[in-house]
Amino acid sequence: MAEMFKTLASWLTTSGIKIIGILIALAILSQMSRWIAKWMEKIVYEKDPLQASEAKKRANTLGNILRHAFLIVLTFVAVLMILGELGIQLGPLLATAGIGALAVGFGAQSLVKDVISGFFIILENQYRIGDAIEVAGVSGLVESVSLRKTVLRDLQGKVHTIPNGEIKVVSNLSKEWSRSVLDLGINYGEDIGQIHELLVQIGKELESEEPFKTAILEPLQILGVEKFDESQIIIRMMVKTVPLKQWDVGRELRRRIKIRFDEKGIQLPYPHRVLLWGEPFSRINEK
Amino acid sequence: MAEMFKTLASWLTTSGIKIIGILIALAILSQMSRWIAKWMEKIVYEKDPLQASEAKKRANTLGNILRHAFLIVLTFVAVLMILGELGIQLGPLLATAGIGALAVGFGAQSLVKDVISGFFIILENQYRIGDAIEVAGVSGLVESVSLRKTVLRDLQGKVHTIPNGEIKVVSNLSKEWSRSVLDLGINYGEDIGQIHELLVQIGKELESEEPFKTAILEPLQILGVEKFDESQIIIRMMVKTVPLKQWDVGRELRRRIKIRFDEKGIQLPYPHRVLLWGEPFSRINEK
Amino acid sequence: MAEMFKTLASWLTTSGIKIIGILIALAILSQMSRWIAKWMEKIVYEKDPLQASEAKKRANTLGNILRHAFLIVLTFVAVLMILGELGIQLGPLLATAGIGALAVGFGAQSLVKDVISGFFIILENQYRIGDAIEVAGVSGLVESVSLRKTVLRDLQGKVHTIPNGEIKVVSNLSKEWSRSVLDLGINYGEDIGQIHELLVQIGKELESEEPFKTAILEPLQILGVEKFDESQIIIRMMVKTVPLKQWDVGRELRRRIKIRFDEKGIQLPYPHRVLLWGEPFSRINEK
Amino acid sequence: MAEMFKTLASWLTTSGIKIIGILIALAILSQMSRWIAKWMEKIVYEKDPLQASEAKKRANTLGNILRHAFLIVLTFVAVLMILGELGIQLGPLLATAGIGALAVGFGAQSLVKDVISGFFIILENQYRIGDAIEVAGVSGLVESVSLRKTVLRDLQGKVHTIPNGEIKVVSNLSKEWSRSVLDLGINYGEDIGQIHELLVQIGKELESEEPFKTAILEPLQILGVEKFDESQIIIRMMVKTVPLKQWDVGRELRRRIKIRFDEKGIQLPYPHRVLLWGEPFSRINEK
Amino acid sequence: MAEMFKTLASWLTTSGIKIIGILIALAILSQMSRWIAKWMEKIVYEKDPLQASEAKKRANTLGNILRHAFLIVLTFVAVLMILGELGIQLGPLLATAGIGALAVGFGAQSLVKDVISGFFIILENQYRIGDAIEVAGVSGLVESVSLRKTVLRDLQGKVHTIPNGEIKVVSNLSKEWSRSVLDLGINYGEDIGQIHELLVQIGKELESEEPFKTAILEPLQILGVEKFDESQIIIRMMVKTVPLKQWDVGRELRRRIKIRFDEKGIQLPYPHRVLLWGEPFSRINEK
Amino acid sequence: MAEMFKTLASWLTTSGIKIIGILIALAILSQMSRWIAKWMEKIVYEKDPLQASEAKKRANTLGNILRHAFLIVLTFVAVLMILGELGIQLGPLLATAGIGALAVGFGAQSLVKDVISGFFIILENQYRIGDAIEVAGVSGLVESVSLRKTVLRDLQGKVHTIPNGEIKVVSNLSKEWSRSVLDLGINYGEDIGQIHELLVQIGKELESEEPFKTAILEPLQILGVEKFDESQIIIRMMVKTVPLKQWDVGRELRRRIKIRFDEKGIQLPYPHRVLLWGEPFSRINEK
Amino acid sequence: MAEMFKTLASWLTTSGIKIIGILIALAILSQMSRWIAKWMEKIVYEKDPLQASEAKKRANTLGNILRHAFLIVLTFVAVLMILGELGIQLGPLLATAGIGALAVGFGAQSLVKDVISGFFIILENQYRIGDAIEVAGVSGLVESVSLRKTVLRDLQGKVHTIPNGEIKVVSNLSKEWSRSVLDLGINYGEDIGQIHELLVQIGKELESEEPFKTAILEPLQILGVEKFDESQIIIRMMVKTVPLKQWDVGRELRRRIKIRFDEKGIQLPYPHRVLLWGEPFSRINEK
């Protein structure tokens, strides 16, 4: 009896202490996970304080899910370790868990990818709410950015939800300034010099009238003859604008070109065909 | 004999207890799996109480399968662990199981991916029953969403069943509001100003008549000259509507434009060709 | 001598018992594999009792192969474990087996994928024999579904055998009901109102005559002006039918439209070209 | 000296016996591999006894290579295990072998895939020698099928060798029966009813003449108006034939349609254009 | 001192012997690698003795590189194992080596794939030097085949070097025989019967003249009306030739058809257009 | 009591020292990570001192994040190792951590790829700020290069952010020199010799006028007749320029060709058609 | 005290010696890595001594980086092993390092692939500086080849940097000889025999004049009628040239054909159309 008590005492002073140690260590790890989350949140918030309130709510939602999942895993580990301390062979259990882990790990990797990708999007400030971007084959105005996903809305009102891990090349159309590039086709018969003058004049008028005066950052630049096309000469011109104003300015420019060309009697080019007469086909057949 | 009995007793107080411990631990793990399932279900249901009854049934089906599979695995593990406690070398068995696990784990990863993807679709409320969406190359109205798959039905009556893991970018056409964008081609000879006025007038009429009055959220907006096309000028206009009404409004708009243009004698553009006469081909040959 | 006998006895009471234990455990595992197979079969059969007899035969074939393979693996494991109990170092053997397993596991994963995918197709009743479906780039009527593969036959009589793992998005054309969508092009000169009336009338006639009366579930619905095309206006109409009758109804509808339009002298549109005369090309050259 | 002898004796009764055991176990495994090969061969042969002689030779070739490779591996393992029994640390060797195994295992996985895929092709009788199939982007008549590869020959005489692992969807054009589907374009001006009668008549004549009488399984079926095309109406018809006769029947059908249509003065449709005169282009420019 | 000597002696009789054993085992493995190489070489050479001299040189080059690499690895392993016998903990070293192995193993897998793929190409005699093949998107005459790569030269003189692992489907254009398939377009107005006779006649003449007499294996076969095309009827014919002669025969056939058709006044078809006059476009506008 | 103290002392002199050793080792590793970072930074800066200040800031940001992450991991390891020294079984914990590591490792691999790829871009000086490059499907002027990403801005003002790991083939349009290649189409009727002379003359004038004199490195080279096109002969010419001046020079060249050709009355080619009259279509029908 | 000293002495004679052994072994491994590098360099240099000086510099740069990285790893391992000898549990550290290794190993595999691929490119002499090649979707003249990457420059002056691992099929346009293949379209009305004679004559003239005399290796070969095209007959001819001269010869050939055809009044073909008159479209409508 005494021996049994002694054994128990001995067990308590070794394994018992260890079990307590396990519980303490887990508590520390649990706390560490919170610090990591806080630290990531802080970086995110510092970058973009305006989004903070909305982002905070979302981040908390995601954070809570991840924390609860983590808690379940920790409890699972704690049970296993205590079983281990009680001297039970855990080999089969661990091997089985490993099998599951393989499947889950592969399945979950895209989630991890999303979070890493999202972290750099926010950290490097690649785009923010209100920007016009093109990513992963869709484009639109950014409605929200979170660690896991980006939400865009395009002109047709479609809401695109893109997991950040799917985003490779980000094309931002509204960083500091935008530009409207216009490729204008004219007939081969036209005088390039005259057209050039006319375009310069149209550009000047545009820059002097509101609301385009404030939208245009640099005067209209006419680059020149970009291409000899099948039935037309392509003249390229471009104008630098305030972000997101490139489409308005471009449309106005096109409208004014159309009106001015009509006034001057300059025709925009249709496709041309040169026709040559061969012999009547039926006569050939009769040969 | 006594020694043998003693050995047995000693075995019972160590391995015997451990075996009981194993069984208890497994019971706890089994219970934990139920909690996880419940917790996931709860999140899903809270998000969308309307779908709850249907979803509950489906989730239960999937849940039952996964639980039964899990039970089989647990029994397998229990047998192994008890064998281990009986002192049998499990190395070969575990290694062999690992081989199978590799194949199964790879094969099952897409199932895990489906569930993770489905969980976020439901949690983030990316779409719900009745929404019009475009995912994974197909589009249609959402008929049902579950953790594993999404079911759409398109205009042609095709029922698309999409495993959630196949869904990358979600494009929702009916989030809060929709928009009908109409690119109208007009002849180069037309007066843009006159067309503009006519379109504004058509828009106003449309907005004042039921059922379009309630369907339209914002008046028709004429963006302007979108493009100089080969044989036509493209005028872009758009109108914001109640979700899923964009197609009805768009069709009505087109109908009214056609009728009004007919009245005003404005022709919609056909492709143009400018013809130039070369020398007869046969004469060239005779040269 | 006595010692040797004693050692042998001792060995028998430890390792000997263990070897017996191994054999018993393996028998249990072998039995368990049968239960799993039965359980999967039961789910498959409950879902679709009509297919049961045919499917049973096929499932048995696949099941027998898998069971035999499993038996060989079990024998292999049993030999290894008994070798282990005899005290032989199995490290090199296991490592070598692992090498083979890597190759086999990767190679076999697509088989596992097929079975998992097939299991959900049958469980969720995504399609059944006789349905018209589109999967993995081919389409046709389903001739058979098994855990490993789906067999389709298309209109041209081609028999497509698709491993279930290759099936991502399933498009079922015959779920509850089908729909025939008809995009009809008309000349820009036509009166839309008149065309609309004519189409409604054709639709009514169609619905009142057998065999289309029973095939059509909802009357012909004319959606309106879908698009302004290059040389025609596209009118979209659609009609809901009994599954698989959409093509018959669509063809009859087209036939009646053609006949009625001929009667009314309404021409279906050919491509149009507007021709403009430029100067003779040779004269230009002479300039 | 005596001790050394005793040690040696002791070593012989433990490790020596084990080494003998290793050799016996390897012999058993070697024998098992033969059984597996035989069993797979048997299944393959039972399925298709006609191919047996040729296939036997090929299977033996592949089998011999695999068996020799297996033998080399077994010898390698045996050397390692005996080294292990001699008490040498094998850790580094195994780790190094693992490195090589990773590369080889990845490289060899496609071979394993080929064999698994080929096994199911033969077992499920997806196609056999003489069938016309489409797989992996090529098509032709099957010249041979083995566990590792399928050989096709197409109309142009190209011999395609396809590793079975590359085969995903199998499209068999000659399973039980084939079908010739003919989409015939007719002018918009034609009377559909008259064309229909003519086609029925052509079909009847075809079915009554050898060799088409025996090749055709079901009379010509005229489905109806498949499509309103740009300059023609598409009439779809189809005829069920003996396998591989679909092309002959289709060509004869086309020949007879051409001749009969010529007799009746029915013209097959050319592309149409409606021409509209605009103002001379040069005059526009002068405005 | 005596003890130290004794310890050393004891160490020599255990570890010392083992180290010698390691060196012997490595020598055996080194020798085995040569046997494997020889065995593979023998299979390769037996298949194609003509290529032997050239291939031998190349195989030796590759063999030497692989053998040297293997030697370096063996030396590395030997150093590790002897360190192990000297009682040094190798865990960290092995783990680190494993890290490197992961990267190298992944990187080297394509090399292994090349060799396995090349082994089967040569063993199954899929193609040999001088054959015309299409693989991996390129085509040409085979200039050399080795275990690692295949070299082609195409008509334009481009030399394509293809790693064998990139080769999936092999299309051999010169196996036993080749075939020239000619799709001839004729006008809808032509008499099919007359054309058929003419073609048969051309075919007969071709077969009776050298060098085509020896190049053609089977007389010209006229399959019939392959297709009703937009402006022509496609007649398919084909002729079986000696390997690689299909292009010469095809060109000569085309030349003779052109000449004979010219003689008979049969025109090869140009695209047709049916023109319909609409109202002048400007008048429409004036409405 | 004494024994307990003794045990504690013994523990302190073994495990206690080890724990201190762990802490020291971690400190060393922490320091090593800084050295690695410094060493990589040094290489980066030496390559491109101009970018140093900006790059330094960015590198520090990335470096700080990685260092903090590393610190957290180190703390985690330290806790584990000290737990190990205290005699707690860490198996379950490590296995669980491995599961997480699998997911994180896969997710993070693209980040590692970015850094390795970026390291070589900078080291090999593949492009630097201001260069015009084409990578990963986008093109533009390089705005910044860092270890993780490259930022381009294209003509339309779009800012493309490309993770370096997505960059495979780098095409640099401004390395040492650029070239403008101009494919000029001329009518079949023109005299090639005359055109050649004219182009040489235009080239000479261009080279003699500022700002093109300094932009052009080698005189205009006329390669000759590149292609016989459908309605034109393509003449290829090219001119070597200072980097990034190829577009300006090309546009000026095109402008001068247009003007000079107008002067000489040389027409740039329109598409040609040879027309043949067949019989009226309706008459054919009446036959 | 004596005992402690004795323990220390004992430790020194076991672990101390081992630590020294570790350091010696690492020195050997470090030296081996240099030998491997030297050996690879030697193979590279022997192949192409001309490139040696430049390549040496580059190889040294890459070599130095890899060696420094290796040194850091070795130091890390040495620290770990010595810690191991000091009796510290390294499990957690190794597991953590494994996590990092997974990410790094995956990330670095493309670098390993580059080096292996580059090694075979240089060893097999697939291309060398100055060759014209097509790889990985780009083409140009080779500017440099190293173990990691290949640099091309194309006609437009673009410098393409391609990691060798991206190179699958190498197409070398300048191996021993090149060939210019010219597909010449002629009108259906032309006499093939006459054209053939003319082309032979042009070919002879070309071969007799410098600089083409030395550039052409084999006389112009006229293969014959390659194809009946829509509006032309394609005649294929080809000429074998000195490497890289195929474009010059081809252009000259085209120029001479154009001039000679002009002289003989042979027109190069324009697209043809056969026109058929239908009834006026408006009259049809009035029916």
How does pLDDT run across F174-191, given as a tens digit for each residue?
999 999 999 999 999 889
Tell me which residue in B75, B161, B251 faces C126 most closely, judged by beta carbons: B161
Closest CA of chain E from F105, distance in Å: 13
Residues of C in contact with E281 (CB under 8 A): 274
Q: Does B270 touch chain D (CB under 8 A)?
A: yes
Kindly list the residues from chain F whose CB atom is less than 8 angstroms away from the CB atom of residue B276. 270
Contact B270 D281 (CB under 8 A): no
Per-residue model confidence as pLDDT tens for chain E (287 residues): 566 677 777 767 767 777 787 777 777 777 777 776 676 666 656 655 555 555 555 555 566 666 666 666 676 777 777 767 666 666 666 666 665 666 666 667 788 888 889 888 887 889 988 999 999 999 999 998 888 899 999 999 999 999 999 999 999 999 999 999 999 999 998 899 999 999 999 999 999 998 899 999 999 999 999 999 988 999 999 999 999 999 999 999 999 999 999 999 898 999 988 888 876 554 444 44
Residues E273, D274: C-beta atoms closer than 8 Å: no
The alpha carbon of residue D207 is apart from the nearest alpha carbon of chain G, in Å, by: 36
> In terms of CA atoms, which chain G residue is nearest residue F188?
G268
- At residue D212, the pLDDT reads 93
Minimal-distance CA residue of chain E relative to C270: E276
G272 close to A (CB below 8 A): yes
pLDDT tens per residue across span G48-68? 555 555 555 555 556 666 666
**Structure confidence at residue D119 (pLDDT):** 82
- Taking contacts as CB-CB distances below 8 angstroms, the residues of chain B near E281 are 267, 270
pLDDT digits (tens, 9 = 90+) for C240-281: 999 999 999 999 999 999 999 999 989 899 998 888 887 655
Torsion sign (Cα): B248, B254, B258, B260: positive
pLDDT of residue D285: 45
Per DSSP, the three-state class of A28 is helix
Using an 8 Å Cβ cutoff, are C249 and C241 in contact? yes
Instruction: Say how far apart CA G113 and CA G107 lie, in whole Å.
Output: 11
Question: CA D176 → CA C156, C158, G108, distances in Å?
Answer: 13, 10, 53
Chain A residues closer than 8 Å to F159 by CB? 171-173, 175
Q: What is the pLDDT of residue C44?
A: 58
Mean pLDDT of the A44-57 span: 56
pLDDT mean over G114-142: 90
**B18 vs B11: CA distance, rounded Å:** 10
Between residues F11 and A102, the one the model is more confident about: F11
Model confidence at B283, pLDDT cuts 50, 70, 90, reads: very low
pLDDT at residue number B130: 92
* DSSP bridge pairs for D141: D132, D153
Mean pLDDT for B49-70 is: 59
Please judge whether F267 and A188 are an interchain contact, meaning their C-beta atoms are less than 8 angstroms apart: yes
Average pLDDT over every residue of G215-231: 93
Helix (H, G, I), strand (E, B) or coil at D163: strand
pLDDT in tens, C132-161: 999 999 999 999 888 889 999 999 999 999
Triad F254, F257, F259: Cα angle to 5°: 110
Q: Which positions in chain B touch A61 (Cβ < 8 Å)?
A: 123
CB-CB neighbors (< 8 A) of F189 in chain C: 285
What is the pTM for the complete model shown? 0.86
Q: Which residue has the higher pLDDT, F143 or B111?
A: F143
Q: What pLDDT is stored for residue C286 in this prediction?
A: 44
pLDDT score, position B21: 73
Residues of G in contact with E272 (CB under 8 A): 273-276
Chain D, nearest residue to C269 by Cα:
D230
Residue A281 forms contact with E (CB below 8 Å) = yes
C:G CB pairs within 8 Å: 10
CA neighbours within 13 Å on the CB side: how many for B92?
22
- Measure in Å the smallest separation between the Cα of G274 and chain A Cα atoms: 7
Nearest to D258 among E109, E233, E284 (CB): E233
Mean pLDDT for chain B overall:
81
Nearest Cα neighbor of E237 from E177, E183, E173, E179 is E183
- Interface touch F270/B278, C-beta < 8 Å: no
Q: Which chain F residue shows the shortest CA-CA distance from D266?
A: F285
Report the pLDDT value the prediction gives residue A67, as an integer from 0 to 100. 66
- Domains defined for chain G, CATH in brackets: 2-88 (no CATH), 132-172 (2.30.30.60), 178-264 (3.30.70.100)
Tell whether E113 is within 8 A of chain D (Cβ).
yes
Give the Cα separation of B273 and C273 in Å (integer): 7
Q: Which of F87, F149, F267 sits opposite A18 (nearest CB)?
A: F87
Query: Most D CBs within 10 Å: which of B187, B270, B277, as the mutation test of the D interface?
Result: B270
DSSP chain F: -HHHHHHHHHHIIIIIHHHHHHHHHHHHHHHHHHHHHHHHHHHHHHH-GGGHHHHHHHHHHHHHHHHHHHHHHHHHHHHHHHHHHTT---HHHHHHHHHHHHHHHHHHHHHHHHHHHHHHHHHTT---TT-EEEETTEEEEEEEE-SSEEEEE-TT--EEEEEGGG--SEEES-SS-EEEEEEEEE-TTS-HHHHHHHHHHHHHHHHHSTTHHHHEEEEEEEEEEEEE-SS-EEEEEEEEESTT-HHHHHHHHHHHHHHHHHHHTPPPPPPEEEEEE---HHHHHH-
Q: For residue A138, give the chain B residue with the closest CA.
A: B169
Residues of F in contact with A102 (CB under 8 A): 102
pLDDT band at A284 (very low <50, low <70, confident <90, very high): very low
Per CB-CB distance under 8 Å, the chain G contacts of D102 are none
Q: Is the pLDDT of residue D201 over 60?
A: yes
Residue A170 has what pLDDT?
A: 96
Q: What residues 200-219 of chain B have any CB closer than 8 A to a CB of chain A?
A: none
User: In this predicted structure, what is the pLDDT of residue C283?
Assistant: 44
Q: What local confidence, expressed as pLDDT, does residue G243 receive?
A: 95
- Give me the residues of chain C with pLDDT under 70, please: 1-4, 14, 36-37, 39-72, 83, 85-107, 279-287
Does ipTM surpass 0.90 in this model? no
The verdict on A278 touching G (C-beta cutoff 8 Å) is: yes
Per-residue confidence (pLDDT) for residue F8, from 0 to 100 = 72
Which of 146-185 (A) contact B at CB < 8 A? 148-149, 153, 155-163, 166, 184-185
Interface check for A24 against chain B (CB to CB < 8 A): the answer is no
Residue F278's pLDDT band, with cuts at 50, 70 and 90, is confident
Mean pLDDT of chain E: 81
pLDDT tens digits along F109-131: 788 888 889 888 887 889 989 99
Q: Which of A76-90, A168-182, D258-272, F77-91 has the highest mean pLDDT?
A: A168-182
Give A283 or E236, the one with higher predicted confidence. E236
> pLDDT per residue over D21-49, tens digit each?
777 767 777 777 777 667 666 665 665 55
Q: Does D278 touch chain B (CB under 8 A)?
A: yes
Own/partner long-range contacts of F191-194 (Cβ < 8 Å, ≥24 apart): F192/F225, F192/F233, F192/F235, F192/G255, F192/G258, F192/G259
- What are the phi and psi torsion angles at A224 (to 5°)? 125, -160
Nearest residue of F to residue G246, measured between CA atoms? F226
Chains that touch C (3 or more CB pairs under 8 A): A, B, D, E, F, G
Per-residue pLDDT tens digits for E118-169: 888 887 889 988 999 999 999 999 998 888 899 999 999 999 999 999 999 9
A-F contacts (CB, under 8 Å) = 199
Using DSSP's 3-state secondary structure scheme, residue D270 falls into: coil
Q: Which site among E188, E261, E264, E267 would you substitute to test the A interface, given the most A Cβ atoms closer than 10 Å to its Cβ? A: E267
Taking the Cβ of residue A274 and every Cβ of chain C, the question of whether any pair is shorter than 8 Å is answered with yes
For an interface test with G, give the residue of A281, A283, A287 to mutate (most G CBs within 10 A). A281
Put simply, the answer to whether A265 touches D281 (Cβ < 8 Å) is no
Question: Residues 229 to 248 of G: which have CB under 8 A from any F CB?
Answer: 231, 247-248
Strand, coil or helix: what is A19? helix
Mean pLDDT within D187-216:
93
Which residues in chain A have their CB less than 8 angstroms from residue D287's CB? 265
**pLDDT at residue C247 in the model:** 96
Using the beta-carbon criterion (under 8 Å), do C281 and A270 form an inter-chain contact? no
Question: Which of B187, B265, B270 lies at the smallest CB-CB distance from E287?
Answer: B265
The verdict on a CB contact (< 8 Å) between A284 and E267 is yes
pLDDT surpassing 60 at residue G273: yes
Q: In chain D, what percentage of residues exceed pLDDT 70?
A: 70
Residues of B in contact with F272 (CB under 8 A): 278
Q: Among all residues of chain E, which has the CA nearest to that of F279?
A: E274
| pLDDT given for residue A10 in this prediction | 72
Residue B190 has pLDDT above 50, yes or no: yes
Q: Which residues of B touch F95 (CB under 8 A)?
A: none
Residue carrying structure tokens 């979950």: A108
Q: A202: distance to nearest CA of chain D, Å? A: 21
Q: Assess B18–A contact: CB distance below 8 Å, yes or no.
A: yes
Predicted confidence at residue D162, as pLDDT, reads 96
